[in-house]
Copies of this chain bind each other. A is one copy, B any other.
């Protein structure tokens, strides 16, 4: 990690834990340390426990603090806002970001605006956890990745951690120090992935972007699980062709570090944006804006963007596989971008070798 906002955080030694455990640990600590924290959401207290991220917490802290809710996204988001206004710190979960469309009014018109609209007299400290995902025929209504809708709205802070350290250091900071609403977007396929984090981590703001791997030939700006894809592609290109890909983890998509992105593009001259959603009006577009407003002259080639195909998500496997970027297509695009031509002769990974993380994922969800 270079230029990481957590440089100050890493202690000597480290430990390995899954993204899921990072979340569970963080949720547990929040409940244990702060009596005014509550977790609410459909199924937070059941045996599936939001992909395991709230497992055991209802038993430990009681169902008044780890509350199952009716199926009523708008209402429960409003309840969470009211609870925050009443002195609690609510953590509200949705097992699919798609369901948050039902709560857009509360999120966009109320939660995002309470502070400003009342001239700073009222604040809404709370965390909404939204799960995104992909694969296994989830289909059009269970596979979206709607971060750009949220990041468009001033008043919201939206993070998409690609690494457990953002959770372990950042989320305690949110609960203890930040008095506004934050949205955490978590990719389902990350839950099983293991990460190394400092043995002890001090709370620190998660509102940053960072270089996840330094390089000099091409810049990839990526979000969430796509950062892992980018790192794999970078590894492949380094070992097979000596191409050094710089991977920027955008992380805080609502407040991306424009200077960091620009600096990288100035260094490499070549940019590929890799996002979990559609390109149009998404992170792909926003990163282009950041560069266009600063140093478009630094670009020595057209920007390449990759995301979901411009369609709803189909369920059939053959279509679904084409719907998402895969490692082979990513490496191909990077090789073309880095070398400037198609006949670069760089070996591409098998279509079959695409992300074992995805391979390991098995329904039912």
Q: Tell me the number of copies of this protein.
A: 2
Instruction: Name the B residues within 8 Å of A304 (CB-CB).
Output: 293
A152 to B278, CA, bound (A): 7
A289 to B289, CA, bound (A): 7
- Chain B CB within 8 A of A16 CB: no
Output the nearest chain B residue to A300 by Cβ-Cβ distance.
B297
- Chain B CB within 8 A of A104 CB: yes
A146 to B105, CA, bound (A): 12
**Contact between A117 and B105 (Cβ–Cβ < 8 Å)?**
no
Partner pick for A98 among B74, B101, B109, B271, CB 8 A cutoff: B109
**A-side interface size class:** 35 or more
**Contact between A280 and B151 (Cβ–Cβ < 8 Å)?**
yes
A321 to B255, CA, bound (A): 25
A101 to B156, CA, bound (A): 15
- Chain B CB within 8 A of A206 CB: no
Q: A152-B149, A312-B113 are in contact. Are A289 and B293 (CB under 8 A)?
A: no
- Chain B CB within 8 A of A310 CB: yes
Instruction: Name the B residues within 8 Å of A271 (CB-CB).
Output: 292
Q: Which of A74, A149, A291, A314 has the most CB of B within 10 A?
A: A149
Instruction: Name the B residues within 8 Å of A85 (CB-CB).
Output: none
- Chain B CB within 8 A of A357 CB: no
- Chain B CB within 8 A of A361 CB: no
- Chain B CB within 8 A of A141 CB: yes
Partner pick for A281 among B117, B285, B311, CB 8 A cutoff: B285
Min CB distance, A218 to chain B, in Å?
Answer: 15
Instruction: Name the B residues within 8 Å of A302 (CB-CB).
Output: 292-297
Chain A 117-147 interface 0/1 with B at a Cβ cutoff of 8 Å (1 = within) = 1000000000000000000000111001010
Instruction: Name the B residues within 8 Å of A311 (CB-CB).
Output: 116, 154-155
CB within 8 Å of B: which of A71-119? 74, 98, 101-102, 104-105, 108-109, 112-113, 116-117
A112 to B101, CA, bound (A): 13
Known: A113-B312, A154-B278. 13 other contacts (CB 8 A): A101-B108, A104-B104, A104-B105, A108-B146, A148-B148, A152-B281, A154-B311, A285-B288, A285-B289, A288-B291, A288-B292, A288-B293, A289-B303
